[in-house]
Amino acid sequence: MKKYLYAFYNRLSRRKVSVASTMDKKVGVSIYFFYRIYVFCLILLVPLLSSCANREAVDSFDKQFKEEAAKIYKQYSSRAFQQGEVELNTFVQLSGVITVTDNQDGCSIKKNDRFILEVEGDRYQVINYSDSEWELTERVTVYGEYYGFIKAEEIKNEL
């Protein structure tokens, strides 16, 4: 009798194992599928959500920079530059359009490239010492030190 019960028990246990293993495979596939969808959504959502917060931080930084720059960098008229009223090593601020560059491709402006900034019909030579990159015909505000040319320490997009 024990022999028969033992055999019956083994059959049941085998069935449970086999049924459970097929169930695990079926459930495992669906769980794996949902896991992949979850990871895919995270990959898409994290940059989108973080970019919203970064944009606010950048806008806040730009406002603070402009407030501090107004205290340090002075705006001078074209006449003041032409008549030599602007002393060397003075911190200046100019807003205008980038018209010409000496970069090899002739269109982009990177660090240490020279370009011409046109302000109300007058042209100023600027050397980009900032890490920002620009293109021709962009309207920008240059913050820098005057040496007869302008050593641009910061360049901001003028919106």
Question: What gap in Å lies between CA 130 and CA 63, rounded to an integer?
Answer: 18
Strand partners, 78: none
What's the pTM?
A: 0.60
* DSSP structural state of residue 31: H
pLDDT at site 146: 95
pLDDT at site 16: 44
Residues of the chain with pLDDT under 50: 15-21, 23-24
pLDDT at site 3: 59
pLDDT at site 17: 43
Give, for 19, the enclosing helix (H) or strand (E): helix 2-72
pLDDT at site 18: 44
pLDDT at site 140: 94
pLDDT at site 103: 85
Identity of the amino acid at 33: F
Question: For residue 111, which of 139, 62, 153, 150 has the smallest C-alpha distance?
Answer: 153
pLDDT at site 90: 92
pLDDT at site 74: 92
